[in-house]
């Protein structure tokens, strides 16, 4: 990775509704004595040149994290792309060229996430790369000749230069991340899924229990 000035900024996406956890902020759930958000911050901090949190509602509940909180500018919980746009607008104010996003409920993502996304982006006019992992087991067999990777649309490298294009797409009703990234010739960075998928995220109480058993191997 180049020096600190050239690192992308990091944006943690925490704008989901957490319906399968009964509502509230999944990122504030405890794992190994720390919140999920604390795990994400600790992993992302050394990889980026600065960080912000994308979250809606009362920002005071995140005050102890010491991060700027950026809110969606698109109404109605428009999904992760709205959080990406909020992050891009914030990054533009900082004079940055790009951001890397990470989900607030995914505590084990790779320590080399940013480096590998940047490597795959080499030569792109606008750096736009999503993280992927191999599609393993029965799911891959059932897919036949289809895709053999799982895309993780909340983990990506995004260019500030395309923020107005993204804003227009969202205002036109687009919500699916890959439809927009494919439109702009987005690329994919493949990460290994062993000993477990590093993009495992906590959606349910059972997932949180599983995450506790995974913590020692992370």
Domains in the chain (CATH in brackets) are 7-217 (3.90.550.10)
**Contact present, 50 and 94 (Cβ < 8 Å):** yes
Whether residue 144 is predicted with pLDDT greater than 50 in this model: the reply is: no
Q: What is the percentage of the chain residues whose pLDDT exceeds 70? A: 89
Note the pLDDT of residue 148. 85
For 116, what's the count of Cα atoms within 13 Å in the CB-facing half-sphere?
Answer: 16
Q: Which pLDDT tens digit goes with each residue over 110-136?
A: 999 999 999 999 999 999 999 999 987
pTM: 0.89
Note the pLDDT of residue 137. 61
SS3 165: helix
Please name the residue ranges forming H helices in the chain.
Answer: 36-44, 80-94, 113-121, 137-142, 163-171, 177-183, 205-214
d(CA 28, CA 5): 30
């Amino acid at each position: 990775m180049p020096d600190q000035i050239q690192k992308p900024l990091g944006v943690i996406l925490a704008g989901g509704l957490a319906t399968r956890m009964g509502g509230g902020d999944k990122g504030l759930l405890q794992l190994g004595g720390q919140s999920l958000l604390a795990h994400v911050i600790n992993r992302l901090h050394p990889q980026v040149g600065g960080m912000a949190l994308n979250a809606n509602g009362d920002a005071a509940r995140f005050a102890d994290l010491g991060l700027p909180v950026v809110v969606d500018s698109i109404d109605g919980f428009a999904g992760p792309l709205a959080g990406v746009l909020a992050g891009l607008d914030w990054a533009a104010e900082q004079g940055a060229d790009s951001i890397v996003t990470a989900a607030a409920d995914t505590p084990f993502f790779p320590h080399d996430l940013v480096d590998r996304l940047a490597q795959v982006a080499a030569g792109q006019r606008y750096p736009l790369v999503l993280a992927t992992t191999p599609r393993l087991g029965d799911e891959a067999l059932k897919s036949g000749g289809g895709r053999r990777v799982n895309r993780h649309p909340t983990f990506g490298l995004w260019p500030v230069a395309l923020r107005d294009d993204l804003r227009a797409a969202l205002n036109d009703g687009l919500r699916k991340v890959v439809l927009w990234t494919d439109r702009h010739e987005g690329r994919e960075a493949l990460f290994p899924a062993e000993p477990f998928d590093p993009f495992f995220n906590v959606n349910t109480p059972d997932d949180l229990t599983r995450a506790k058993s995974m913590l020692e191997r992370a």
